[in-house]
Every structure is written in C-alpha cells, then in structure tokens.
Amino acid sequence: MQGTEGTANSAPPYIIRTIQKGDCKLPFALAGKQHESLKIYFRKDSERARRELITQTYVAVPKNSIISCILGYISLMSAEIAFAGTYSIPDKPRADRYPTQPAIRIARLAVADGARGCGVGRDLLSLSISIAIDHVCASVGCRFLITNAKPESVGFYGKYGFALLDTDENRASIAPIMWLDLRPYVATIGG
C-alpha cells in the first residue's frame, strides 16, 4: 500500500504497510506530553495487540531510504457506536431498534513531528476508510468509522467529514467520539 501524497506526477516519499516485527524499535519522533500515550502504545503494545488480534496497525515508512524510521501509524479495531437517538439512518429506518451500530475504531493515529503537514495523517486515514469499505463492509458489514479524538485532532477529523457524537456526555469528554458514515463512500455492495 502506498500513500497518496504528491502531485499527479509524483509518488509520496513513503509507503504504508502492516506493522512488522521490530518496527516498534525504529526511531519515531513524537515529542510532547500530549503525545506520550501514543508513543508508549506504539513502543510497548502495537505488535502484541496485532498478534492477539486486538488491533491491526499500519505504519508509514520512508521509501527507498537507507535509514528507516516511522513517519506515522494508525491502529484499527472492531467497535460499535451508540447514537442514543442523535442520528437517524435514513436508508435504514429500523436501525433505531438496536442500541448500537457496527463500526471500526481508529484506536490510535499519530504522525511523527517532522512529517506533520506532509499528508501522512491524511493517507493513513484514507487507508482506514479503504480497508473499511473494501474489506470489512464487503465481507461482514460495517456502517461507521469512529474515533475518540483528542482536542487538537477534532479539526483534522472534521476536515474529512467526521462529526461529533451529539450528546452532553460526549461534548464534555476529554476525547469525544467522532464518527463517519461509510455509506456515502460505498456506491453499491452486492449490486
């Protein structure tokens, strides 16, 4: 899988691939106290969580580079979302009879300090949408992509169509749930 950053004539200077053994030991420049949990998860838990089938992590790494490092990563997992009457699903009129709807959670998304603003985060997010549509929705069904966004990330997710779950509890949360309905991205599945 390759990133999509660059012009129509140029490929991005990185590739995105599934995490491999030893990736958690590669340099990953992520400074600041607010990012500490993202770095700890990547260093200590990402490979184990993959082996235990809890999350699947994808990394962005430089292409054609002698020096290897992590430019960013995203971890995905199964989830569900409870809309609590805040969102009606127009093409699924009986959806409200279920307390939750199927989702994929972006459990972690981080971009290295020197790689921010270069499209790595956008490409990792785009990959998660592609995986949801091409593999999960088509195989087992899944309607939403969700995340618990840190305050500094709300604008990033909003730019790509994610909405805040509109409940008092969520609005007061330090990491509110944001969601994206995958249906508009899917032309038709199964004809």
* DSSP H helices in the chain: 36-40, 46-51, 120-131, 138-139, 154-159, 168-172
Identify the pLDDT of residue 75. 97
Name the class of domain 14-185: alpha beta
Q: Parse the chain into domains and list their residue ranges.
A: 14-185
Residue 140 φ then ψ, to 5°: -130, -10
| Tens-digit pLDDT profile for residues 66-122 | 778 999 999 999 999 988 777 777 777 777 678 888 999 999 999 999 899 899 999
Identify the pLDDT of residue 178. 96
Q: Are 137 and 186 in contact (CB under 8 A)?
A: yes
Q: Are 180 and 160 in contact (CB under 8 A)?
A: yes
Identify the pLDDT of residue 92. 77
pTM for this model (two decimals): 0.88
Identify the pLDDT of residue 3. 44
> Could you say which residues of the chain have pLDDT below 50?
1-8, 191
Identify the pLDDT of residue 121. 96
Q: Are 180 and 162 in contact (CB under 8 A)?
A: yes
Here the contacts of 112-116 (C-beta below 8 Å, separation 24 or greater) are 112/28, 112/29, 112/30, 112/69, 112/70, 112/71, 112/72, 113/29, 113/30, 113/31, 114/29, 115/60, 115/71, 115/72
Identify the pLDDT of residue 66. 75
In single-letter form, the type of residue at position 52 comes to E
Identify the pLDDT of residue 34. 85
